[in-house]
Amino acid sequence: MMDMKRIFSTVLIAILGGLIALGAYKIFERPTEITSIEERQQAQFASLKTPRMVGSAGLVDFTEAAARVTPAVVYIQTTYPMNYRNGGRQFPFDDFFDFFEDRRRPQQPRRAPRASGSGVIITDDGYIVTNNHVVENGDKVEVTLNNRRTYVANVIGTDPGSDLALLKIDAKDLTFVPYGNSDDVRVGEWVLAIGNPFDLRSTVTAGIVSATARSIGILGSDRALRPGETPTAAIESFIQTDAVINRGNSGGALVNTNGELIGINTAIMSHTGSYEGYGFAVPVNIVKKVIDDLLKYGEVQRAFIGVSFTPIDAAFAKERELETTHGIYVEDVVEGGAAQEAGIRKGDIIINMDGKEIVGTGDLMAIVGLHGPGDKVSVTVLRDGKERKLNLTFKNRQGTLEPQVAQSNFKELGIELAPLSDDEKKQLRTENGVRVTSISENSQIYNYTQIREGFVITRVNGQAVDSEESVSRALKQSKQGMVQIQGFFPSQPGMYTYTFPLAK
């Protein structure tokens, strides 16, 4: 009996000791730093993993996935200035599929042009991903939630190369869509498209994945490429689906049957402007990289290979007397570029990169889009009929490995600003703006524009501004050192647009 008591006491002491140790550990342990949106999502959804949903007929059931995701897909309305023009067209992005309000009503009072699209909430505190072409050059971006509450959104960053944009609204405890893994997407699997086509809010359609790594030539590079440079400023490696999408679906969610985000719906291929069976979405793995770069650096850290290339098809293979119809044919390499330093030569055929087979342009772009300067990948090339394995380190546009952090360059403008009061906004009939209170005669803005003291700036690089901070944020979106400022003189009619170099 004494032995049993002794054993029981020993076990009890051991248990108490373990609990005390665990409690002390929990008290003194340092919380894990969460650095990316994906890690934040995983922390919140760790206890919510559910198995794949199967209906009574043995088929995949869409109802639960639709119920989960629909509250996290938002309606976005972008307002443009009255005199907005885009390359000679009154309304932008005809190649995509945004829905513009009916403008064929001459009897109606003239209103500022507006476009609508969709967006996807990706954090509970209001970060939203959408397409760049949904919000680009807008005076004002409004987000309406599934519960009809409306917010004015801040454009945190945009990336024309992937046609993605990151917005932020001031809200908490929002339903969001967890990231999936687009590398796991397979042709033939069921998917749901959720968005706001033709202003029909929260519309859900279903289809299958028709193809992956699809390049359709809809995204243009944001600058002229140097001779021999790979056109990686535009990343096209779309998921193709036959889930019905139309105008207004831009920026909406493409999800799997577990309710996980696998893509952002971006474009349709159509002869009529309406859906004809071919929809395209940016894969979520590219979305993850772009959004995290915008948050961390203010701009996307794009990887460059340093080659010019031609995808191989049967005709090209016959012309060049090649033994394969798969891969990317290297036409030239950039001096000092990543490819040259890796040992890639003119005439090589890239058939594998980062452990993935390269069949065409989309396969290569998918890998490039997931990496940044300094990342290392293995490359397999065909040279003289033999395979050679090489190691490549991506570089950035400047040919270095260092991340490029967007600078606000506000001081270089050479101006001082003051926000407009509510009374001034009402008197000037503007919803936002900052007044120029001082301007340096040595500044670029003074020498290249007619902007002087008293001018009201409403937009910088297409983003609405109402404070010095918002101007600094918008300056980060300057392309090739050029700044676009729009606004008006209180004593003169009309809006004015000025584009000029930021630095001398």
- 423 classed as catalytic: no
- CA 365 – CA 385 distance, rounded (Å): 25
Q: Is 7 helix (H, G, I), strand (E, B) or coil?
A: helix
Cβ proximity of 166 and 128 under 8 Å = yes
DSSP string, 39-108: HHHHHHHTT---PPPB-TTSSBP-HHHHHHHGGGEEEEEEE--TT--BTTBSSS-TTS--EE-----TTS
Annotated catalytic residue: which of 118, 237, 250, 470? 250
Question: Sign of torsion, CA 483 151 96 261?
Answer: positive
Q: Which helix (H) or strand (E) holds 208?
A: strand 203-214
Using CA atoms, how far residue 28 sits from 22, 24, 31, 154, 391, in Å, is 10, 6, 9, 38, 43
**8 C-beta neighbours (distance < 10 Å), count:** 10
Longest Cα pair distance anywhere in the chain, in angstroms? 102
* Identity at 383, one-letter amino acid code: R
Find all residues with CB under 8 Å of 237, minimum gap 6, and list them: 212, 213, 214, 215, 283, 286, 362, 363, 365, 366, 369
How far is CA 50 from its chain centroid? 28
Annotated catalytic residue: which of 98, 139, 159, 163? 163
**184 C-beta neighbours (distance < 10 Å), count:** 11
Q: Is 130 helix (H, G, I), strand (E, B) or coil?
A: strand
Using CA atoms, how far residue 203 sits from 153, 249, 253, 293, 382, in Å, is 22, 9, 11, 30, 48
DSSP string, 348-397: -EEEEETTEE--SHHHHHHHHHT--TT-EEEEEEEETTEEEEEEEE-B-T
Annotated catalytic residue: which of 133, 326, 348, 371? 133
- 133 classed as catalytic: yes
- 250 classed as catalytic: yes
List, by residue number, the catalytic residues.
133, 163, 250
